[in-house]
A and B are shown apart, each in its own frame.
Chain A
Amino acid sequence: MAITKVVMPKLSEAMETGRVIKWLKEEGDKVEGGEIIAEIETDKADIELESFGTGVLRKIMVPAGARAPVGGLIAVVAEPADDIAGVLAGAAAPSPAPAVSPSPTAAPPPPAPPKPAGTAPPPAPARAAAPVPTPVPAPRSLVRGPEPSAGEPAGVPGGRVKASPLAKKIAAQSGVDLRLVHGSGPSGRIVRRDVLGAMSGAPMPVVAPAKVPTVPGVEYQDVPLSSIRAVIAKRMPLAKSPVPHFYLTSEIAMDRAWELREELNALDGQPKISVTDMIVKACALALLQHPEVNASFQGDTIRVHYRVHIGLAVALDDGLITPVLRNCEARSLAEIAVEGRDLVERARNRRLRAPELSGATFSISNLGMFDVDLFSAIINPPEGAILAVGAVKVVPVVEDGRIGMGRRMQITLSCDHRAMDGAMGARFLQDLRRLLEEPLRLLV
């Protein structure tokens, strides 16, 4: 039977190392393909690591709490009879075996040099430069990387939704799914006002609307970067500067989409559809028609994608992450609603799996819920475009020479000029607009 090398997965372009939070299996346990065997902490999120092979977890190379470089061997899954000595030896090969001389200087892997955006994916894991830690006692001293900063958010490793008892009670009575509610209390605790806000669709004011902010006794404070913020800070210049952006803005009449959504949401037994879900579906259909916008600049070539994997920007307290909803072209609006919601919830709870954080071909960022009318987003390389969505507003509109009221939404497409031109983006937008203004098309 095959021997499966379990390696530290690469979960983002910027990820260089990952930390094993805990192993869910012990050496000797049986493992099915696809079974979750460990929890990994990356600079973006905590994710569940699944085994790609079936067999027995023969060897854990990186104990819980220790870090390993991306691509580094962290465990071996094989049949009991398989000889894994070669795999283990091979893993240690690239550098002097740290297990023999556990020196603290073997510690942090050198940071990778900044890569120009849009280059090819990184080389195979086997070429990882850093030594692979082996399970020796006190692994922390051996593999201690740059410590997560003190400003790291209070994670929710168990995936438990932190909510006040009252918030839970109200949510249960009113059918609000707490996993969808943003917690405004300490450490993200969901409190009553958050649930009430979620029910009414608008954030509730805090108890004291006339709250007088307490002024600290100091002039300023240097807040350490959270790990997500540090990654964003590192990556954004690499996304913005080398990628020549251009922007196309369009206004879309959302009246019919709004009505359709209300009709759909009035149906029993149907998942609730959000404006974002409709935009995702519309983008998927439009990108199928305009694959040149669903494209990545690769230096010598442009990769045109025929599947639509859409990255959905999700705001966390301490930064932004973009889980990927795959194969949107093949999903119904209802499926997009259900699966999109699940993905967003798990992103908020930091329970994403590795594949869900990478591989987008296009992204959508919606700041409508914050009442933003119009903004432009930064492309997330190697994707070629990103759609920035503003709020749906009731505004005066002129129709047939008469002033009336209408729901309008402004969207801005940011495009990588190396991969496409203005007209390509404009045609995509035209179709996108038609899909949303004649929303029954989203259902066929």
Chain B
Amino acid sequence: MSVMTYREALNLALREEMRRDPRVFLLGEEIGVYDGAYKVTQGLLKEFGERRVMDTPICESGFTGVAIGAAMLGLRPVVEMMTFNFAILALDQIVNSAAKMSYMSGGQFNVPIVVRGPGGPAHQLAAQHSQSMESYFYHVPGLKVVRPSTPEDAKGLLKSAIRDENPVIFIESETLYGIKGEVPDDADFTIPLGRAKIRREGTDVTVIAYMGMMYRALETAEALAQEGISCEIVDPRTLRPMDIETLIGSVRKTHRAVVVEAGAGFAGMGSEIVAFITENAFDDLDAPVERVTGANAPMPYAKNLEQAKTPSKEKIIAAIRRVCYA
């Protein structure tokens, strides 16, 4: 185990996988000479050279398509979106080309690419650079969607994503790049996609949250523990495929659930989680499942408005109290 930042864990995952598999190469904007807009790819150009660390011009659709075409011939590209907001420019390639290639070719061509980069609310970056992007992707059959909350997950899940035979959308977070945590040193350490993690055990309510909201939920759980409410925090880690078994298992234990998501609720991750809890654990519920979501507004710039946009600890506490009838 080593203590490292989330950013370093990602860098290490890329480095290890590039050493392990010559088919793995990186492409994206400013990942080489500039060493990465967020320094995730720092030092990789130096180690692996221009052949495997390709700086691209600004053309998300173009270079994502290049990655998909290369993947059809067996390479394992890792595409960096400088921020995931720009992935919308490549949405057609991701949705219509990458996600469907295996299916519409009758299984002849699979697309083992990873599209990674930071997404979700960031600090005062305003409407176009600060938003939750996962909902654009997890709706699409054929995509896997990962949201790693810790340095350990960042490393273990990115390595699994690179080794996966299918397109994986891997959305990191600008606000988490600096957090530190223990990360296994083993170059073969991976975390399988599709496995949730119970971050804190509890008995009274299951709180489902990932990324920044997961940390907020942990703080909330701490506060509520003093009132005698015991929260179980479940981090799905992979949004698709979703580890329904672990989530349902927790809800069956606590009989209550609150989903916290930074995105603007409507048809969000919470909606889906609420639906499958209802479908799978209806008779175990002692209260309706609550969602705590971001406000239904674009991300504002002003600091106070920005804070109001994302779910606060108070809102999470209120929702937990409601489902606990406390």
- Real complex partners, A and B? yes
Q: Does A154 contact B (CB under 8 A)?
A: no
Whether the pair A210, B227 counts as a contact (CB closer than 8 A) is yes
Whether the pair B229, A164 counts as a contact (CB closer than 8 A) is no
Residues in B with CB closer than 8 Å to A212 are 227
Whether the pair A164, B286 counts as a contact (CB closer than 8 A) is yes
A211 to B228, CA, bound (A): 7
A212 to B204, CA, bound (A): 17
Interface stretch of the complex, out of B142-150, B268-276, B277-285, B298-306: B277-285
What does DSSP make chain B's interface, helix, strand, loop or mixed? loop
Residues in B with CB closer than 8 Å to A167 are 286
B85, chain A: closest CB distance, angstroms: 38
A209 to B230, CA, bound (A): 12
B297, chain A: closest CB distance, angstroms: 25
Given A166-B255, A208-B227, decide whether A193 and B325 contact each other with a Cβ distance below 8 A: yes
Write the B125-163 contact mask toward A (1 if CB under 8 angstroms, else 0).
000000000000000000000000000000000000000
A164 to B226, CA, bound (A): 26
A30 to B284, CA, bound (A): 45
Given A191-B325, A208-B326, decide whether A185 and B287 contact each other with a Cβ distance below 8 A: yes
Nearest to A172 among chain B residues (CB) is B283
Of the residues B229, B286, B321, contact of A192 by C-beta under 8 Å? B286
Residues in A with CB closer than 8 Å to B4 are none
Given A165-B282, A192-B255, decide whether A211 and B287 contact each other with a Cβ distance below 8 A: no
What does DSSP make chain A's interface, helix, strand, loop or mixed? loop
Whether the pair B286, A166 counts as a contact (CB closer than 8 A) is yes
Given A192-B255, A207-B324, A208-B324, decide whether A166 and B229 contact each other with a Cβ distance below 8 A: no
Residues in B with CB closer than 8 Å to A191 are 286-287, 325
Write the B174-217 contact mask toward A (1 if CB under 8 angstroms, else 0).
00000000000000000000000000000010000000000000
A186 to B324, CA, bound (A): 11
Nearest to B226 among chain A residues (CB) is A210
Whether the pair A208, B228 counts as a contact (CB closer than 8 A) is yes
Whether the pair A164, B287 counts as a contact (CB closer than 8 A) is yes
Whether the pair B325, A207 counts as a contact (CB closer than 8 A) is yes
Interface residues of A in 191-217 (CB under 8 A from B): 191-193, 206-212, 214
Q: Does A298 contact B (CB under 8 A)?
A: no
Residues in A with CB closer than 8 Å to B283 are 165-166, 168-169
Additional 12 contacts, C-beta under 8 A, given A165-B282, A168-B283: A166-B255, A166-B285, A186-B322, A191-B287, A192-B255, A192-B286, A207-B204, A207-B228, A207-B325, A208-B204, A208-B229, A208-B326
- The 14 listed contacts between A and B (C-beta, < 8 Å) are A165-B282, A166-B284, A166-B285, A166-B286, A169-B283, A185-B325, A186-B322, A191-B287, A206-B325, A207-B228, A207-B229, A207-B326, A208-B326, A212-B227
